[in-house]
Amino acid sequence: MARENANAPYLRNAWYVGAWDDELSKGILARTIMDEPIAFFRDAQGKVGAIEDRCCHRGAALTDGKVVENGLQCGYHGLVFDAKGKCVEIPGQDSIPPMAQVKHYPVVERQGFIWIWMGDPALADESQIIDWPFHDDKKLYPHRKAYLRIRANYLMMIDNLMDLTHLGYVHSKTIGGNPLSHVSAKMDVVRTEKGCKLTRWMENVLPPPTYLKGVPFAGKIDRWQEFEYVLPGSVLQWSGALDVGKGARENRDQYGVHLRLYHAITPETENSSHYLFSVGAHFAQDNPAIVETIFNDTYPTFIEDVEIMNNQQARIDMDPTRPLLAIKADNALQQARRVFMAAYEAEQAMKRQAAE
């Protein structure tokens, strides 16, 4: 059994979920990503920009400013910056020196996500952004979005999502049920182009309480759980259940519980992260309260995870070089970490090559 380390370094050349679109309802959002304070803002034309949250003039936080016609205006002396970080106005002077600019980050607003590229802007390829069409159709896929801050390295949360054995322990009081049923349930893990995917079927079992709140199952059900890790910080969840005998393996698009969850984890610092998730319900669309019910059962469960991870990271921080002991149940999370480390090594190799 291999030993590995807990804190992941940063993968730079990648798209991250920087924010939910509705977090920008007030026009400006301050968020630190990979140690860099960033000012997200929606300009007068409705387009989202992301620039360094530090004015080049006297270092003030640009998020203390406001959106004006030509961009984001510093709240201290009124310099204005556009979405490319270029200073377009300095009150009291006509010419703007070329060095009057701040760092900018490529951003794409799509399907409710504000995606941000943290690496070399020349490499930012929008076609690489993960597709999540379920946010587009609020009628067929009513959903709710949320944010939690985690005081742990972001791969800790990927570990958590790619490991279903913890459900019985961390969530024993909510969605867990019998711990050993989770540990012994068979899982398939396969590599994908940009990550890996675990699939688990629990067939001919009793429905958990949360499911019964959504669908009045009369008897036993066939349940599925699919978790796909996609580089660098996303886990795409598809889970649900149908009455036994409905042929769930062949066609899950029938009436039953049918959930689509998006989990985005974006590094804030080496040992803290942003966790943005959405819970979508692809069933009972005539009852808009269903997605709310599912969300209200899910949210406290995720907070249980966050509390475990906060304490876990505090232990890791006491000596980050101490090894961890892998066990068999780690299979999927280990594969996700291997995918991540391969991508990281490739990026480092590319950097070294560029430097030669």
Q: Evaluate whether 153 touches 6 at the Cβ level (below 8 Å).
A: yes
Q: Binding to a second copy by residue 61, rule CB under 8 A?
A: yes
Piece of 21-29, 114-122, 295-303, 325-333 that binds a second copy (CB under 8 A): 325-333
Q: Binding to a second copy by residue 316, rule CB under 8 A?
A: yes
Query: Distance between CA 234 and CA 240 in Å, rounded?
Result: 20
- The tokens of 274 are what? 């942003």
- The tokens of 40 are what? 């997200």
**Nearer to a second copy (CB atom), residue 83 or residue 102:** 102
User: How far, in Å, are 152, 238, 243, 264, 290 from residue 261 at the CA level?
Assistant: 21, 6, 21, 10, 15
Strand stretches in the chain, DSSP E? 3-4, 15-20, 28-33, 36-42, 48-52, 66-68, 71-73, 80-81, 87-89, 107-110, 113-117, 143-150, 187-192, 195-205, 221-230, 234-243, 257-269, 272-281, 324-325
**Nearer to a second copy (CB atom), residue 95 or residue 353:** 95
Give the chain's length.
356
Which of 148, 202, 205, 329 touches a second copy by CB under 8 A? 329
Residues 255-294 binding a second copy (CB under 8 A) are none
Nearest one of 314, 308, 319 to 148, comparing CA atoms: 308
Q: Which amino acid is at 21?
A: D
Which of 328, 353, 354, 355 touches a second copy by CB under 8 A? 328
CB of 190 to a second copy, least distance (A): 19
Which of 57, 84, 144, 220 touches a second copy by CB under 8 A? 57
Which of 44, 123, 140, 180 touches a second copy by CB under 8 A? 180
Q: Binding to a second copy by residue 315, rule CB under 8 A?
A: yes
Q: Binding to a second copy by residue 73, rule CB under 8 A?
A: yes
Q: How many helices (H) and strands (E) are present in the chain, helices listed first? A: 6, 19
Q: Binding to a second copy by residue 161, rule CB under 8 A?
A: no
Q: Binding to a second copy by residue 70, rule CB under 8 A?
A: no
Report the DSSP pairing between strands 71-73 and 80-81.
antiparallel
Piece of 89-97, 128-136, 212-220, 226-234 that binds a second copy (CB under 8 A): 89-97
Which of 13, 20, 31, 54 touches a second copy by CB under 8 A? 54
Residues 97-136 binding a second copy (CB under 8 A) are 97, 99-100
Q: What is the CA radius of gyration of the chain?
A: 22
Q: Evaluate whether 196 touches 229 at the Cβ level (below 8 Å).
A: yes
Q: Binding to a second copy by residue 307, rule CB under 8 A?
A: yes
Q: Please give the residue ranges that form the binding site for a second copy (CB under 8 A).
A: 1, 6, 37, 53-54, 56-61, 64-65, 73-79, 90-93, 97, 99-100, 159, 163, 165-166, 168-170, 179-180, 183-184, 307-308, 311-316, 318, 322, 324-329
